[in-house]
């Protein structure tokens, strides 16, 4: 009897596979890393075959760890690093070159060229995104301009372009299906948020032929079935697809307008459900597709802080004031406040809502009395204050204050950081008992797609709270921190 959903969470440094039961609990887990490729300064690549092998190895590892027979898998859901771009030969299935990773900045000149052509308002208005090397469309255009084999295959109608979800579905179905879901498609610069289809108006400036594109599908529907995969039976439905941040939003059960989540990883990624219309942002946020189920789309505002957990890594590896990342909480808790120290963690620039790539980190207010504890606490406050800026922008664009924020990711385990986040947001912070929310989101979407769970309300019932943090800091103390931060940010 098929009693488990398999969720493939294909990330930037490795692939995780979860086996999830009907209660939303992880019955088993597998994980495999794969190497990063840095051919030139600012360029980041992945070998598509390494991505594929890490996926197969993680599948085998999860099944073995749980002692699970492959026949127990009812469906497969996939979530992925979103903007990473792959191209392959439709006839052979062979990748034409390495994948260009979302972090890669090689298309900066192309973005500047497009801005000079005056098309930036077109992309901003139609896609909810900004013209930046981050997104997939300019990466695909770069490949077509610089890879002769890719250009030839495209002219013959034999080139397939996709994000990682597309590539994995293609491989899992034995090359039978070329699709992407609306959440991943909304990160390409090629999808019209109103029609939820790729637009010729958006393809033309980038000179991308429609023939290379996958079919756009919903997030919770059977798009194909496994075929010819060692260790898995043929015929397992692939019924859930979503980009990683949208999957985390779904895995956090943020199903209603105004419900939001923040994933604390290397950076901090905040999304809030804004309903069934793609609202524009006047505060520098991105508008993106959250998901579409049964033909009914939901949209989200997205804001990212480039540095969150990476600030803690810098304190460990750069300043060496802690030995392990987990040491920051007791060190920061060793002082009652940051002693007037302010840390702006703009180590790689400032993201939403500031969008200042030239900004650099700032550590202000140091005196002879400053100790390691003050710096550690200021670092945690800086992470929380960055998120406050994003959440305030979201509330202003949405026209209402967010009643709570659900959190996940590695740094969400830091109780002091979560308390500071609640204090500075002035709202409840909710940490779930299951922190693998990205993979869970993919599992929930896949399960809904085959009736494993009958409704979103059934999914909501299997989301469980670990701890709720409520504001405890005196309002005047919180405002003093905010005021110091506001004055410090322009100096970064």
* Predicted pLDDT at 366: 95
Are the beta carbons of 5 and 28 closer than 8 angstroms? no
Are the beta carbons of 305 and 373 closer than 8 angstroms? no
Q: What is the mean pLDDT of each run of 10 residues along the chain (492 residues)?
A: 88 92 94 90 92 97 93 96 95 95 89 94 94 92 97 96 97 97 97 96 96 97 96 96 96 94 89 94 92 96 87 91 93 95 88 82 94 95 95 90 88 94 95 91 97 93 94 95 95 88
Say how far apart CA 71 and CA 325 lie, in whole Å: 40
Question: 195 is written with which tokens?
Answer: 């029609």
* Predicted pLDDT at 1: 47
pTM of the model: 0.91
Q: What 8-state DSSP symbol labels residue 299?
A: E
Continuous segment of H or E residues that includes residue 272: strand 268-275
Question: 228 is written with which tokens?
Answer: 């010819």
- Strands (DSSP E) contained in 187-256 are 191-192, 197-198, 215-217, 224-225, 237-243
Say how far apart CA 218 and CA 295 lie, in whole Å: 7
CB crowding 375-392: b at 16 or more within 10 Å, else e:
bbbbbbbbbbbbbbbbbb
Domain 4-235 identical in fold to domain 253-492: yes
* Predicted pLDDT at 2: 66
Which one, of 210, 217, 265, lies nearest residue 413 by Cα?
265
CATH number corresponding to 4-235: 3.30.420.40
Say how far apart CA 99 and CA 89 lie, in whole Å: 14
Question: 332 is written with which tokens?
Answer: 């920061």
CATH number corresponding to 253-492: 3.30.420.40
Domain spans of the chain?
4-235, 253-492
Answer whether the bond into residue 331 is a cis peptide, omega within 30°: no
Are the beta carbons of 70 and 91 closer than 8 angstroms? no
């Amino acid at each position: 009897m098929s009693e488990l959903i398999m969720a493939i969470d294909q990330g930037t440094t490795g692939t995780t596979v979860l086996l999830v039961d009907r209660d939303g609990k992880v019955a088993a887990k597998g994980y495999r890393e794969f190497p990063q490729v840095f051919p030139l300064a600012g360029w980041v690549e992945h070998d598509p075959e390494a991505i594929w092998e890490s996926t197969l190895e993680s599948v085998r590892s999860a099944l073995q760890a749980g002692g699970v027979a492959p026949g127990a898998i009812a469906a497969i859901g996939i979530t992925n690093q979103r903007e990473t771009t792959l191209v392959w030969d439709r006839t052979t299935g062979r990748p034409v070159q390495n994948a260009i990773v979302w972090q890669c900045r090689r298309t900066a000149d192309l973005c500047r060229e497009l801005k000079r052509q005056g098309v930036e308002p077109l992309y901003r208005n139609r896609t909810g995104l900004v013209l930046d090397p981050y997104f997939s469309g300019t990466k695909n255009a770069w490949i077509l301009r610089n890879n002769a084999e890719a250009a030839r295959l495209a002219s013959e109608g034999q080139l397939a372009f996709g994000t990682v979800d597309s590539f994995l579905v293609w491989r899992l179905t034995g090359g039978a299906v070329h699709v992407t879901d609306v959440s991943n498609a909304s990160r390409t610069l090629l999808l019209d948020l109103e029609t939820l289809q790729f637009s010729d108006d958006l393809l033309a400036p980038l000179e991308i032929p429609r023939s290379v594109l996958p079919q756009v599908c919903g997030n919770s529907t059977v798009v194909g079935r496994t075929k010819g995969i060692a260790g898995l039976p043929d015929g397992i439905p692939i019924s859930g697809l979503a980009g990683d941040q949208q999957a985390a939003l779904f895995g956090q059960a943020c199903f209603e307008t105004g419900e939001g989540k923040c994933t604390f990883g290397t950076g901090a990624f905040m999304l809030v459900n804004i309903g069934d219309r793609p609202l524009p942002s006047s505060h520098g946020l991105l508008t993106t597709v959250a998901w579409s189920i049964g033909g009914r789309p939901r949209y989200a505002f997205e804001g990212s802080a480039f540095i969150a957990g990476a600030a803690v890594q810098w304190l460990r590896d750069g300043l060496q004031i802690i030995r392990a990342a987990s040491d920051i909480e007791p060190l920061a808790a060793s002082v009652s406040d940051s002693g007037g120290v302010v840390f702006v963690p703009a180590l790689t620039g400032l993201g939403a809502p500031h969008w200042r790539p030239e900004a650099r980190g700032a550590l202000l207010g140091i005196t002879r009395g400053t100790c390691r504890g003050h710096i550690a606490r200021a670092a945690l406050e800086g992470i929380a204050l960055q998120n406050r800026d994003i959440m305030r922008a979201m509330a202003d664009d949405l026209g209402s204050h967010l009643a709570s924020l659900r959190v996940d990711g590695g740094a969400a385990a830091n109780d002091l950081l979560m308390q500071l986040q609640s204090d500075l947001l002035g709202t409840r912070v909710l940490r779930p008992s299951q922190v693998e929310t990205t993979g869970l989101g993919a599992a929930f979407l896949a399960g809904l797609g085959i009736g494993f769970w009958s409704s979103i309300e059934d999914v909501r019932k299997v989301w469980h709270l670990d701890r709720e943090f409520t504001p405890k800091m005196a309002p005047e103390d919180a405002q003093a921190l905010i005021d110091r931060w506001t004055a410090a940010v322009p100096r970064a």
